[in-house]
Copies of this chain bind each other. A is one copy, B any other.
Amino acid sequence: MTEPFVVVGGDAAGLSAASKLRREAPERDVVVFEKGRWVSYAHCGTPYFVKGAVDDLTDLLSLSPEDVEDRGIELRREAEVTAVNTDKRLVTVVDADGTAYEQPYAELLVATGGRATSAPIPGIDLDGVFTMHGLDSAATVRAYLSTPETFTVDSLGGGEFVHEEAVSRYGAMEPPEVMTIVGGGYVGVEMAEAFSAWDLDVHLFQRGDHPLTPFGEAVGERVASHLQDYGVTLHLGEEVEELRGKEGHVSSVVCYDGSELETDGVLVGIGIRPNVELLEGTEVELGDSGAIAVDEYGRTSVDGIYAAGDCAEMPHAVTGDPAWIPLGLTANRAGRAIGKTIAGDPTPVGSVAGTAVVKAFDLECGRTGIIDCDAARDVGFDPVAETITAGSRSGYYPGNEETTVTLVADRDSGRLLGGSIVGEDRAAVRIDTVATALEAALAVEEVEQLDLAYAPPFSPVWDPVLVAAKVLGESLSA
């Protein structure tokens, strides 16, 4: 008898792999262990649940546990895999009631995801301090924002999945008037919008000169100015040293420069790190990034063990080198590919260009590839960058908005390395043009020649991406 395909982690990568294998090889048994209650949830949707743009927590589920089981997958929730025996090919599982047992596997997929970083800041365990990762934290934050008089656990729309104790405690608290965000990445920017929707006094601390560091300066500066237009108080170049509390609840944020800001709550969004602790002591190798190293099929260094999603590296689309860039699409795609590979149809997990888009109030921001010139030099390129601002539509057409595009290319080869975009009118999806050009390894002069769409309501004759390519092309040939 063939042992089952065992998956650790019931989200994007894990369930994509499980579903694909069941579809391609229905005779195979598939068991998915998930340590929490939720499965198949949209991390990226949590800020919009907190904001109130999404009503129910369960709206954020792609699949219910029943959907998963309908696919013939054996799903065990609140079941934590605590150890892997790579010699005997079995994992140790601890159930909700503390019972431990062993589960043999033919193949194992580690899809344990990542978790929000918070450790270095003293005071992080005070009440009123949150990280945003997963639906439980989203539920707790929204409970805290709600008025105690009207709050009910049911109002979260999370059904049986909600941890009633945690949300009830926050639901009973006086809601905050001041919320402070530590970190100006995606989560910080999205949560600034979410808190503003509750009419709170919102502060955002960012160590660097602008928010959204991976999107580069041109995007970051427009976002900074836009956040301020919406009443968010930015504390740029300031680093939070400590969170102070009164009676166990956070009451202020203290910076290294000695300044102190009173606050009713803190959201820490300073990045995530891969969950790799399960593999400690095994022969499964980690990459330089600290995430799990894999080959082009998602195989780790140990036979029969795969890794995918936010806990694993992937080849970078520009350099081909291993990279750790946790994103939803690449997690889904890698999981799906691993399911096919295990079914007998070897399928590469693909590469990651680091394409990302984020909404900051009315601004749409996008980035892809390598846009930091120092990072480009580190991997052997001689980067040339140009930033332009052009219209999103014909100048005479209502709704035309300034769209800022940065493109980066290698001087010697002319190859496009990356780009960013920001604007209020259909800016975000335009980054896909750059991502596609990048993955096709186009040179800037080829990008300049692309026959892109033009119609007054949607684009000027020269799309902003083409304008940037023209200007960069001139720099390259100068």
Please tell me if the beta carbons of A453 and B431 are within 8 angstroms of each other in the complex: yes
Given contacts A394-B42, A458-B357, contact A451 B435 (CB under 8 A): yes
Beta-carbon contact of A429 and B426 below 8 Å:
yes
Contacts of A358 in B (CB 8 A): 455
Contacts of A54 in B (CB 8 A): 396-397
Partner of A329, one of B330, B353, B366, B454: B454
Known A359-B457, A461-B328: A368·B451 in contact at CB below 8 Å: yes
| Residue of B44, B463, B466 touching A454 (CB-CB under 8 A) | B44
Contact of A60 with B429 in the complex, beta carbons under 8 Å: no
Asked whether any CB of chain B lies closer than 8 Å to the CB of A21, the reply is no
Cβ contact within 8 Å between A453 and B435: yes
Is A354 an interface position by the 8 A CB rule?
yes
Chain B neighbourhood of A440, CB < 8 A: 436-437, 440, 442, 446
Does B453 contact A432, Cβ atoms closer than 8 Å? yes
Q: Is A364's beta carbon under 8 Å from chain B?
A: yes
Q: Does A456 contact B (CB under 8 A)?
A: yes
The answer to whether the Cβ of A142 comes within 8 Å of any Cβ in the partner chain is no
Q: Is A350 an interface residue (CB 8 A)?
A: yes
Most buried by B among A332, A357, A426, A453: A453
User: What residues on B are CB-neighbors of A359 within 8 Å?
Assistant: 455, 457-458
Q: A432-B433, A433-B432, A458-B429 are in contact. Are A452 and B351 (CB under 8 A)?
A: no
Which A residues from 419 to 478 make CB contacts under 8 A with B?
Answer: 426, 428-433, 435-437, 439-440, 442, 446, 449-459, 461-463, 465-466
Would you call A327 an interface residue if the criterion is a C-beta within 8 Å of the partner chain's C-beta atoms? yes
Q: Contacts A329-B461, A329-B462, A396-B59 given: A439-B433 contact, CB under 8 Å?
A: no
A462 to B328, CA, bound (A): 9
Residue of chain B at shortest CB distance from A359: B457
Residues of B contacting A53 in the complex (Cβ-Cβ under 8 angstroms): 397-398
A16 to B, closest residue via Cβ: B461
Q: Is A428 a contact partner of B455 (Cβ separation < 8 A)?
A: yes
Is A352 at the interface (CB under 8 A from chain B)? yes
Q: How far is the CA of A396 from the CA of B52 in the complex (A)?
A: 12
Q: Kindly list chain B residues whose C-beta atoms are within 8 Å of the C-beta of A450.
A: 432, 435-436, 439
A356 interfacial by beta-carbon distance below 8 Å: yes
Question: Closest CB-CB distance, A475 to chain B, in whole Å?
Answer: 16
Q: Which of A54, A351, A397, A442 has most chain B Cβ within 10 Å? A: A397
A12 close to B (CB within 8 Å): yes
Interface status of A299 (Cβ within 8 A of chain B):
no
B355 touching A397 by the CB < 8 A rule? no
Q: Which residue of B lies closest to A396 (CB)?
A: B59
| Contact present for A352 and B426 (CB under 8 Å) | no
Q: Is A210 an interface residue (CB 8 A)?
A: no
**B350 and A317 form a contact (CB under 8 A):** no
The answer to whether A352 and B451 touch (CB under 8 A), given A433-B436, A436-B437, is yes
Residue on B with the closest CB to A447?
B436
A357 touching B397 by the CB < 8 A rule?
no
Bound together, the chains give a CA A461 to CA B356 distance in angstroms of 11
The residue on B at minimum CB distance from A190 is: B455
Q: Does A333 contact B (CB under 8 A)?
A: yes
Q: A45 at interface (Cβ–Cβ under 8 A)?
A: yes
Q: How far is the CA of A317 from the CA of B352 in the complex (A)?
A: 28
**A48 contacts B by Cβ under 8 Å:** yes
Which chain B positions have C-beta within 8 A of A439?
446, 449-451
Nearest 4 interchain pairs by C-beta: A440-B440, A59-B396, A353-B451, A357-B453
Query: Told that A44-B454, A436-B440 touch, could you supply 18 new A-B pairs with CB distance under 8 A?
Result: A48-B396, A53-B398, A329-B451, A329-B466, A332-B461, A355-B453, A356-B453, A356-B455, A357-B454, A359-B455, A428-B455, A432-B453, A433-B436, A435-B452, A436-B442, A436-B450, A440-B440, A440-B442
Can you list 16 A-B contacts with CB-CB less than 8 angstroms, sorted by A residue number?
A: A44-B456, A327-B451, A328-B454, A329-B461, A333-B449, A352-B451, A355-B452, A357-B454, A357-B459, A359-B455, A429-B453, A429-B459, A432-B453, A435-B450, A436-B442, A437-B440
> A-side interface residues toward B, CB under 8 Å?
12, 42, 44-45, 48, 53-54, 59-60, 317, 327-330, 332-333, 348, 350-359, 364, 366, 368, 394, 396-398, 426, 428-433, 435-437, 439-440, 442, 446, 449-459, 461-463, 465-466
